[in-house]
């Protein structure tokens, strides 16, 4: 259900506001591509199917449990591991076996990411294989230095602080010289506290914001420094 929330009035992206940034970190799903595609819908369906088969419950009950686990643990996988002892490999292989061909290349996004000065990373709660297939479809793979996935984070998802610390350590990142782009407000809390510039990426046409309350809760808090519903235009503003 969509719920009307307070209007976001984000700061304007300017080259000066990001002049100190030399590391650019992007979430994958619903950030580097629009949630209006069916990619995440496919993943969502597969998660429900996995839970339904595992626990022998109907789709409605599986959907309710998936949402509950996601909210409490950061990912459904983490919740299923903690509460039901499932194998992470079985889950990840199943839920990311989807049709990535529904994504079209995005040459404008690829070009502006290429122009960002410094290093560029994808940090995702999904798998490296899923991120690679998605980035390949978008045509942006070659512009990233690496992908940091849920396995690299020892299966501890964002927004847990340990996931970010593992990412920073892996790539020797100074958070005070980095920027984080995310579609979930709660995943920006730790980056902001660590000193990163934070950007909330909304679906096209959702600024001012009509959105899912649980998904964007806290969007008006200080940890959201910028917000945009057009990532390409926002990055062009930085690179102007």
- Considering the domain architecture, whether residues 32 and 50 belong to the same structural domain is answered as no
CA distance 231 to 201: 7
Q: What is the CATH number of the domain that holds 144?
A: 3.40.50.1000
Cis previous bond, 195, omega within 30: no
Domain boundary at 54, 72, 95, which? Answer: 95
pLDDT tens per residue across span 179-201: 999 999 999 999 999 999 999 99
Q: Indicate if 173 and 208 belong to the same structural domain.
A: yes
pTM of the complete model: 0.88
Same domain? 89 vs 184 = no
> Does residue 69 sit in the same domain as residue 178?
no
The answer to whether residue 11 scores a pLDDT higher than 70 is: no
**Do 15 and 127 belong together in one domain?**
yes
68-114: per-residue pLDDT in tens? 998 899 889 999 999 999 999 999 999 999 999 999 999 999 999 99
Co-location of 31 and 59 in the same domain? no
CB 223 within 8 A of CB 195: no
Residue 2 pLDDT: 33
Domain around 81: 39-95
Q: Same domain, yes or no, for 62 and 175?
A: no
The backbone region for 103, taken as left when phi is positive above 0, alpha when psi lies in -120 to 50, beta otherwise, is beta
Domain count, the chain: 2
Q: What percent of the chain has pLDDT over 90?
A: 80
User: The tokens of 203 are what?
Assistant: 């679906």
Q: What is the spatial distance between Cα 201 and Cα 233, in angstroms, rounded to a whole number?
A: 12
49 C-beta neighbours (distance < 10 Å), count: 14
């Amino acid at each position: 259900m969509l719920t009307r929330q307070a209007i976001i009035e984000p700061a304007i992206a300017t080259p000066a506001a990001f002049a100190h940034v030399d590391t650019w970190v992007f979430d994958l799903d619903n950030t580097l591509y629009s949630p209006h595609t069916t990619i995440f819908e496919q993943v969502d369906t597969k998660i429900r199917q996995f839970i339904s088969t595992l626990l022998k419950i109907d789709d409605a009950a599986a959907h309710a449990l998936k949402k509950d686990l996601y909210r409490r643990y950061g990912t459904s996988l983490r919740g299923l591991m903690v509460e039901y002892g499932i194998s992470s490999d079985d889950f990840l292989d199943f839920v990311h076996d989807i049709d990535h061909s529904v994504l079209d290349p995005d040459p404008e996004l690829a070009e502006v990411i290429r122009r960002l000065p410094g290093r560029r990373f994808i940090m995702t709660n999904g798998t490296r294989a899923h991120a690679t297939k998605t980035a390949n479809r978008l045509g942006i793979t070659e512009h990233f230095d690496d992908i940091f996935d849920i396995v690299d984070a020892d299966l501890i998802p964002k927004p847990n602080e340990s996931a970010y610390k593992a990412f920073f350590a892996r790539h020797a990142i100074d958070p005070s010289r980095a920027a984080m782009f995310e579609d979930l407000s709660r995943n920006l809390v730790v980056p902001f506290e660590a000193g990163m510039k934070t950007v909330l990426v909304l679906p096209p046409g959702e600024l001012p914001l009509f959105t899912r309350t649980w998904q964007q809760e806290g969007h008006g808090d200080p940890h959201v420094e910028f917000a945009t519903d057009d990532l390409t235009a926002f990055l062009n503003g930085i690179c102007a």
